Amino acid sequence: MKLHWKIIIGMVAGVVFGLLMSQTSFGSEFIKDWIKPFGTIFINLLKLIAMPLILASLIKGISDLKDISKLSTIGTRTLGVYICTTVLAVIVGLVLVNIVQPGNSIKEETRIDLVQEYEQGVLEKQQQAQKQSESGPLQPLVDVVPSNIFDATTNNRNMLQVIFFAIFFGIGMILIPPKQAKPVKDFFDGFNSIILKLIDLIMLSAPYGVFALLATLVVESPSIDLFIALGMYSLTLIIGLGIMIVVYMIIVKFVTNTNPISFMNGVSAAQLLGFSTSSSAATLPVTMDCVEKNLGVDKEISSFVLPIGATINMDGTSVYQAVAAVFIAQAFGLDLSLGAQLGIIVTASLASIGAAAVPSAGIVMLVIVLGQAGIPEAGLALIIAVDRPLDMCRTIVNVTGDAAVSMVVAKSVGKLKDPKDVNKN
C-alpha cells in the first residue's frame, strides 16, 4: 500500500479512536500517557532532520552548477524567474489566509486551551518576537550572517544563518578547481543521499505519528470547531495552489504564446506522477521528457533548468508555508504585524528554496518559518495530520512551475520550438 493511503488511514483511525476514547472516563488520560508521546516523537524527528537537510540540499544544489559562468544568461534568468514565482507564491498564500482567516474560526475557549497546552512555548515565542520588534531596522540582516556556524547549527531558530553559510560554502566550492572540490562534493552528495534516506525512514512512521496526533487532538479539543478550522485551512491552501496553476498558464500564454490547455496537457503526465509520489525529484525524468517532447523545450535548456527547479523552485511549498504559518498564529491568538508577515515572505522563500524535492520536506522547512516569525512550533501538531494529502497537491504545483519556467527561459534564449511545430515531431 502506498504511503499516502497509510497516512489517510492513520488520520481516519486517529479521529475514530479519539472519539471513542473521549466517551470513556479513562480515555483522555490513556491517550495522554500512551498515545500522545508517539506524536511528539514524530514532530521531534522532523525538527531533528531540518538542519542537516538545509546543509545537504543547498550545498549540493549550488555545487551541481559546477561553473559560476553558467549563472550568466541562462542561469541568471532561471534563478531570477524561480525567485520571482517563489515570492509571488508566498504573497498569494499570505493574502488568502488573511482574507479567509481559517484560524479565527476557532472559539475562544478552544484557543485558551491550546495556549494553556503549549503555554511555555507560546510565552517564549512571544518574548522573542517582542525582543525582535525592539531591535533596529537592519537587525534581521545582521542576524542572517552567523559569527559561528557551529553555534548556529545548535538552534533551529538560526536556520537562516545556516542557509547563508550553505550558499556561501557552495559558491566557494564552485570557485576552486574541480579536482580540489571533488572530495568535498562527493562527501556532500553522499551526505545528501543519507539525509533523504533518513526522511524516507521518518515518513514510514508518519501513519502512526498522524494517528497519535489526531487522536490526541480529538480528546484534547473541547469542541468540533478545531476540525472545522482545519477544513478551512485545507481549502484555503488548495485555492492558493489553484491560483498558482492559473498564474503559470497565464505566464506561458503571454511569454511563449502556447495555449494554456496544450501546456496543461503536455505536462499532465508529470503532474500525475508528482501527485502520486509527492516528490519533484522522483518526477524529474518524466518532467524533462514532457517539456522536451510535448512543449518544445530544447534539451540543453531542460537539462539545466529542471534539475535546479527540482531543488529550489518549490512554489507549492511556498504557498503552504505562508498559509500554515499564519493559520497556526491565528489558532493561538497571535496577531502578526506587517513586519512579521514581510519576514514570512523572506523566510518562506528561502526555506522553500532549501526544501528537498522529497515527500513532506515542506513541513520540515515550516519549522524555519515558524521559528523566525515567533510562532509556536508546537502548532505543527495542528496541521501535521492533513499534511500528506496536501503535500501531494503541492507537488503538482512544484512540477508545473518547473515546466513553465523552462519554457520561459527557453523562449528568452531562442531555444523553444514554435507551438505549431511541436506536435509535428
The pLDDT of residue 307: 74
Contact 391, 200 (CB under 8 A): no
Q: Could you give the CA distance from residue 325 to residue 297 in angstroms, rounded to a whole number?
A: 36
- Comparing C-alpha atoms, which of 381, 372, 394, 247 is closest to residue 320? 394
**How far from 258 is each of 82, 192, 312, CA to CA, in Å?**
20, 37, 25
The pLDDT of residue 157: 60
Q: Could you give the CA distance from residue 286 to residue 394 in angstroms, rounded to a whole number?
A: 17
Range of the domain at 217: 3-422
Task: Using CA atoms of 28, 231, 322, 8 in order, give the dihedral in degrees to the nearest 10.
Answer: 70
Backbone angles phi, psi at 145, to 5 degrees: -95, 115
Nearest 5°: CA angle at 87, between 83 and 92? Answer: 145
The pLDDT of residue 137: 60
- Comparing C-alpha atoms, which of 193, 141, 145, 194 is closest to residue 166? 145
- Eight-class DSSP state of 156: G
Q: Could you give the CA distance from residue 288 to residue 316 in angstroms, rounded to a whole number?
A: 19
Q: Domain count for the chain, please give it.
A: 1
Backbone angles phi, psi at 416, to 5 degrees: -115, 125
Q: Could you give the CA distance from residue 96 to residue 278 in angstroms, rounded to a whole number?
A: 24
Contact 145, 161 (CB under 8 A): yes
What are the mean pLDDT values of the chain's consecutive 10-residue runs (425 residues total)?
75 88 90 90 77 77 67 74 87 90 76 60 51 61 85 72 82 88 92 83 83 80 69 91 95 92 89 75 79 86 77 81 86 76 76 56 70 71 72 88 92 77 56
Q: Could you give the CA distance from residue 119 to residue 126 in angstroms, rounded to a whole number?
A: 11
CATH number of the domain enclosing 261? 1.10.3860
Residue 297 C-alpha cell reads as 523545450
The pLDDT of residue 273: 75
**How far from 131 is each of 18, 136, 141, CA to CA, in Å?**
39, 10, 15
